[in-house]
Amino acid sequence: MDKTNIDDQLTFKFKNGWNCIDDSTHDEVFKFSEEYKDFLDKGKTERECTKEIIKRVKKNGYKDIELFINGEEKIVPGAKIYANNKEKSVVLFVIGAEDIERGMKVVAAHIDSPRLDLKAFPLYEDGGLALLKTHYYGGIKKYQWTAIPLAFHGVVMTKNGEKIEIVVGEDENDPVFYITDLLPHLAKNQQDKKLSEGISGEGLNILTGNIPCKNEDIKDPVKYNILKLLKDKYAIEEKDFLTAEIEVVPAIKAKDVGLDRSMIGAYGQDDRVCAYTALKAILEISNPKNTAVTILVDKEEIGSVGNTGMQSRFFENLVAELIALQSEQFSDLKVRRALANSKVLSADVGCGFDPNYPDVVDKRNVAYIGKGVLVSKYTGARGKSGSNDANVEFVYEVGKIFDENNVVWQVGELGKVDQGGGGTIAYILANYGAEVIDCGVPLLSMHAPAEISSKIDIYMTYKAYKAFFK
C-alpha cells in the first residue's frame, strides 16, 4: 500500500461537485439552472414569488387549505395542500401515511430579499428633478445601490379601494430608475469617509423625472408632471403612496456567469435559491411516510417579524387546522407533538469562500462554491450567539441521508469567530422542540444587487431536500 492510499483511509476532503457527476447529470444541472433563472425573473418580491409558487403548485394538483376547512375536500394520505398567508408567504403540505402527530419533514426558506422601499411620502422636486425617497429593507451596503438600473414592483390601493399592481423597469421597453452617485472629481470628502457612511440612508433618492409641466404657476412643475403621468398611466394620486407598498429592486435579469457558464448572477438568490429548490423538491414528492412540508416565508431579512414572518403563528395554526380536520377530537397537545417530533432543514444561503476577501473567513471551515450543498451545524456571531446549533445525532442523520443519495455536501461556518455572523429562521422552529439544521446554497456577494451561486450547488441542494423528504 503506498502513502496516498493510507492517506485516503484516514483523512477527509470535500469533493468538488462538478467532478462527481456524469455527462447526463451535467446536462440536467444546466437545464435545472435555466428554470431557476426563469423563476428568479418572475419573482422579485415576496408577493410575486407567492403568486408564482401558487400558480405552479396548483398545476401540480395542490389544493387551497380553505377547501379542506370548508369541507369541500377531504384530507387523505397523499393529499397536496397549499396555504396562502396574505399573498406574502406560502406553506405546502403533502400529507404522509403516518399520523401528523408523529412529526413532519420540513424544509423552510424565505422569499423576501434586501431591497429599497418607497417611503410613504416619497415624491419631491429639487434642482429641476423629480425624486423618490426610500427606506431600505434588510442588510444592504448602501453604496452598491447607486448607479445601477432599478425597477419598481408594488401594490397600490386607490381611493376607490381598487388594488393595483405595478411593475415598471422590467420590460425591455420600460424606463428604469437610478440613484445617482458623485463624480470622482468632486468626491474627495466622500471618498475619505468610512465605506458605510459614503452614501447615507437619506441619500438613497431615486431619479424619476426632468420635464416640467407647462403651467408656470405650479410650485414644483417637474413633480407635478410626474403626478400627472402617474394619474394617466396608473390611476395613482399622491395620497395613494401613503398606504402603498412599492419595492425597488435591481432591474437586472438573472444571467449565467463565467466563460464556462458555471455560475448564476442574479438579484434575490438569498433566499429564493433555497425557496426554488425546496419547491422543486416537494413537487416531486407523493405519498411520503411523514407529512412533507415546504415553508416559504416573508420578513426573514428584518428579523422574521410581522404576520407573514416565521415568528408569526401562521404555521402552527395550519398544523392545528390539519389536526382538527383529521381527528374526532381536537387537542392542542397533538399540535405540540406534531411540531416537537418534526425534523427541519432551515433552508438558507451561506457564505462561500471569496478569494478577494480571504481574511474574514477560516479557510478550513468555510464553504466553497462548487462543493455542493452547505450544511451548517450552527450560525450565530461571536461565540455562536443567536445560533440554533444542531444536535450531533441530527447532523449525523442528515449527512447519512445525503451520502446515501449521492448528494455532494460540505460543512461551513459563516466567517472567522470574531468577525461577525448572521442568523436564519432555524431557532424559531427549534423553539417547538423540532430538530433543525441550516442547509442551503453558498453564495458570493450575498445581499448585493447581484449575488453569485454555482449551478452544481443549486442542483445538489435540490437533490438534498428531495432526499430529506423521502
List contacts with Mn ion (CB under 5 A).
270-271, 348
Q: Minimum CB separation from Mn ion for residue 387, in Å?
A: 15
- HSE-CB for 97 with a 13 A CA cutoff: 7
Ramachandran category for residue 414: left, alpha or beta (phi over 0 → left; psi -120 to 50 → alpha): alpha
Please identify, using beta-carbon distances, which residue of 18 and 137 lies nearer to Mn ion. 137
Q: Are 250 and 449 in contact (CB under 8 A)?
A: yes
- CA proximity to 46, closest of 363, 235, 268, 223: 268
Please identify, using beta-carbon distances, which residue of 48 and 271 lies nearer to Mn ion. 271
Element (H, E) at 107: strand 104-110
Please identify, using beta-carbon distances, which residue of 209 and 268 lies nearer to Mn ion. 268
Q: Minimum CB separation from Mn ion for residue 440, in Å?
A: 8
Q: Report d(CA 461, CA 457) in Å as an integer.
A: 6
Please identify, using beta-carbon distances, which residue of 321 and 451 lies nearer to Mn ion. 451
Q: Minimum CB separation from Mn ion for residue 158, in Å?
A: 33
Grid cell listed for 176: 428604469
Q: Minimum CB separation from Mn ion for residue 271, in Å?
A: 4
Please identify, using beta-carbon distances, which residue of 101 and 298 lies nearer to Mn ion. 298
Q: Report d(CA 458, CA 31) in Å as an integer.
A: 12
Q: Report d(CA 188, CA 185) in Å as an integer.
A: 7
Please identify, using beta-carbon distances, which residue of 303 and 433 lies nearer to Mn ion. 303
Q: Minimum CB separation from Mn ion for residue 447, in Å?
A: 6
Sign of the alpha-carbon dihedral angle for 400, 401, 405, 406: negative
Q: Report d(CA 200, CA 244) in Å as an integer.
A: 24
Give the burial class of 77: count Cβ atoms within 10 A of its Cβ; 0-12 exposed, 13-18 middle, 19 or more buried. Answer: middle
**Whose CB is nearest to Mn ion?**
271
Please identify, using beta-carbon distances, which residue of 240 and 270 lies nearer to Mn ion. 270
Query: What angle (nearest 5°) sits at the alpha carbon of residue 112, between those of residues 111 and 116?
Result: 155
Q: Minimum CB separation from Mn ion for residue 273, in Å?
A: 9
